[in-house]
């Protein structure tokens, strides 16, 4: 009986502490996801501006390509279960991210493969090769967004 | 002779209401706007941008034509003060007497609203950054990523505003046809109608100047204002 009086309130206290904690976790997860995509977007924007520039900076191009190559393999980890539209958070992720995990993983892997090629091209110092690879990267963004991101802004 | 009441049928279209450039402007817009929407939906951003530049050129032309064009195109001719608008609105459901050719006092403001929204829509598009890192506007390199996404967000929202205004536009035209028995579409197609007298055309050189301006604006924007 004594055990009950110890374990019971302890358990309730834990649940009470965990409940808002869990909601906060989801909010933080979604926020972090958006922050990561923003980093990806900033890098893509910077890259495409360099490629359009009459005098692109190889150092900048390399920086952006490396950043993308670092971020791309992490992408699946930004989508833990429970961080979808059902969480009530402001997210454009479709439920399909979690309902069709194989397809999502396939799109993510294709994206990572394309960014890696981009980084290899940037490291080689051949800007023409970077320019040739860049459309394949944004095509990989587009493929996944069309399938897994709600268009509405 | 007092002007006869206008009727949808049996009226003789005799007086000039719109000059050619306004009509070409209008029907180009009516074709290009749905195309702009459709290409954006399809993700055909290359085409979307080309259409956007064409619309930008049309709008530049329209602004010029609003100060230099035929009399019914001139802002000074059709933008009326609140009192005139109120008086016109009050007479809407009475058989109002035919006014001068061109936009009526309420229509004038709707034209201004449409043009303003269109200009804002194009302006936002120029700075928009898309989510695919593929097809940003030509001026997006002047602003931050966040500002570019902000522009894209409003580009999207404002399009809904445009749709609402175009809906109103079409309803107003239907209202004139059905209730007031006044055919507005015919004159916008052929240039001649039965309403009022006193159209004054613009000198030919002004047309060439407007076309040069429109082409220049479209090209300059397409090049991202880099020369
Ligand atoms: C994308 C769709 C459209 C847009 C953006 C649009 C825009 C405009 C604008 C800006 C004007 C003012 C003309 C000027 O002075 O510059 C106008 C007038 C007019 N539009 Fe449209 N329009 C659209 C579709 C249509 C359609 C489908 C019709 C026919 C069914 C139509 C019929 C007319 C008529 C009859 C006028 C003259 C109104 C008057 O007599 O005052 N429009 N429109
Ligand atoms: C009046 C002319 C225009 C109309 C009606 C129009 C309409 C639209 C619409 C409906 C969308 C889709 C928004 C969404 O649902 O996500 C869009 C996206 C876009 N438009 Fe336009 N547009 C116009 C002009 C332009 C111009 C001139 C540019 C720049 C050259 C431009 C660049 C873009 C970009 C970059 C996007 C993608 C934004 C995103 O993915 O979030 N647009 N436009």
Q: How high does pLDDT run on average in chain B?
A: 91
Contact A149 B133 (CB under 8 A): no
Q: Is the pLDDT of residue B48 over 50?
A: yes
Residue A44 is predicted with a pLDDT of 96
Question: What does the pLDDT read at residue A153?
Answer: 54
Q: Is residue B102 part of a domain?
A: yes
At A22, the pLDDT band (50, 70, 90 cuts) reads: low
Q: Which of B31, B34, B35, B36 to mutate to test the pocket of ligand 2 (most atoms within 8 A of CB)?
A: B36
Query: Which chain A residues are within 8 Å of B141, Cβ to Cβ?
Result: 45, 49, 52
- Convert B34-69 into a string of H (helix), E (strand) and C (coil): HHHHHHHHHCCHHHHHHHHHHHHHHHHHHHHHHHHC
Residue B200, domain member (yes or no): yes
B3 lies in a domain? no
Which tens digit of pLDDT belongs to each residue from B123-157? 999 999 999 887 789 999 999 999 999 999 999 99
d(CA A145, CA B194) in angstroms, rounded, equals: 53
Cβ separation A38–B145 shorter than 8 A: yes
B34, part of any domain: yes
Number of domains in chain B: 1
Start-to-end CA distance of chain B, whole Å, equals 59
User: Considering the domain boundaries, does residue B152 fall inside one?
Assistant: yes
Q: Would residue B11 count as lying in a domain?
A: no
Share of chain B above pLDDT 70, in %: 93
DSSP B133-199: SS---TTGGGS-HHHHHHHHHHHHHHHHHHHHHHHHHHHHHHHHHHTS----HHHHHHSEESS-S--
Residue to test with chain A: of B45, B132, B138, B152, most A Cβ within 10 A: B132
Percent share of chain B, pLDDT over 90: 78
> How far is it, in rounded angstroms, from Cα B148 to Cα B132?
13
pLDDT value of position A6: 56
Spatial CA neighbour of B125 closest among B205, B210, B59: B59
Q: Check CB contact of A135 with chain B, cutoff 8 Å.
A: yes
Percent over 70 (pLDDT), chain A: 83
The parent domain of residue B209 ranges over: 17-222
B160-198 residue pLDDT tens: 999 999 999 999 999 999 988 889 999 999 999 877 788
> Does the distance separating the beta carbons of A138 and B134 come in below 8 Å?
yes
Average pLDDT of chain A to the nearest whole number: 88
Q: Is residue B100 part of a domain?
A: yes
Q: Is the pTM of this model over 0.80?
A: yes
pLDDT at site A9: 52
Residue B42 placed within a domain: yes
CATH classification at residue B116? 1.20.950.20
Question: Cβ(B183)–Cβ(B5) under 8 Å?
Answer: no
Which residues does a 6 A CB cutoff place in the pocket of ligand 1?
B 22, 25-26, 29-30, 33, 62, 73, 103, 107, 111, 114-115, 166, 169, 173, 184-185, 188
Residue B10's pLDDT is what? 44
Pocket test for ligand 1, best of B188, B210, B214 (most atoms within 8 A of CB): B188
In the prediction, which pLDDT does B92 show?
85
- Rounded to whole angstroms, how far apart are CA atoms B87 and B75? 19
Asked if pLDDT for residue B7 goes beyond 50, the answer is: no
Contact (CB<8Å) A141/B134? yes
The residue whose two tokens read 């390199």 is B141
| CA B169 to ligand 1 centroid distance, Å | 7
How far, in Å, is the centroid of ligand 1 from the Cα of B25? 10
User: Residue A14 pLDDT > 60, yes or no?
Assistant: no
* ipTM, two decimals: 0.81
């Amino acid at each position: 009986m004594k055990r009950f009086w110890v374990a019971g309130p302890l358990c309730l206290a834990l649940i009470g502490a965990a409940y808002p904690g869990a909601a906060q976790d989801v909010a933080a997860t979604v926020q972090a996801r958006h922050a990561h995509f923003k980093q990806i977007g900033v890098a893509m924007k910077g890259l495409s501006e360099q490629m359009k520039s009459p005098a692109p900076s190889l150092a900048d191009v390399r920086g952006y390509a490396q950043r993308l190559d670092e971020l791309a393999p992490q992408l699946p980890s930004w989508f833990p279960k429970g961080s979808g539209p059902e969480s009530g958070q402001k997210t454009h992720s479709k439920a399909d991210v979690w309902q069709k995990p194989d397809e999502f993983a396939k799109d993510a892997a294709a994206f990572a493969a394309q960014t890696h090629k981009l980084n290899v091209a940037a490291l080689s110092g051949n800007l023409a090769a970077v320019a040739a690879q860049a459309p394949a990267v944004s095509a990989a963004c587009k493929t996944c967004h069309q399938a897994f991101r709600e268009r509405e802004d | 002779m007092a002007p006869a009441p206008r009727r949808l049928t049996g009226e003789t279209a005799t007086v000039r209401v719109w000059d050619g450039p306004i009509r070409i402007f209008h029907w180009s817009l009516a074709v290009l706007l749905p195309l702009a929407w459709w290409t954006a939906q399809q993700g055909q951003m290359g085409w979307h941008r080309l259409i956007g530049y064409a619309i930008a050129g049309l709008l530049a032309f329209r602004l010029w034509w609003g100060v230099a064009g035929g009399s019914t195109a001139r802002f000074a001719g059709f933008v009326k003060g609140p009192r005139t608008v109120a008086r016109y609105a009050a007479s809407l459901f009475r058989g109002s007497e035919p006014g001068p050719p061109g936009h009526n006092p309420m229509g004038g403001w709707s034209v201004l609203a449409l043009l303003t929204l269109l200009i804002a829509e194009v302006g936002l598009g120029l700075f928009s950054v898309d989510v695919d890192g593929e097809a940003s506007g030509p001026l997006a390199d002047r602003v931050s990523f966040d500002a570019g996404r902000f522009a894209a967000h409003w580009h999207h929202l404002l399009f809904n505003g445009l749709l609402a205004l175009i809906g109103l536009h079409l309803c107003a035209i239907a209202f004139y046809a059905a209730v007031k028995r006044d055919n507005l579409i015919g004159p916008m197609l052929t240039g001649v109608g039965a309403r009022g007298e006193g159209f004054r055309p613009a000198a030919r050189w002004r047309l060439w100047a407007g076309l040069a301006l429109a082409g220049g604006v479209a090209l300059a924007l397409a090049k991202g204002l880099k020369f």
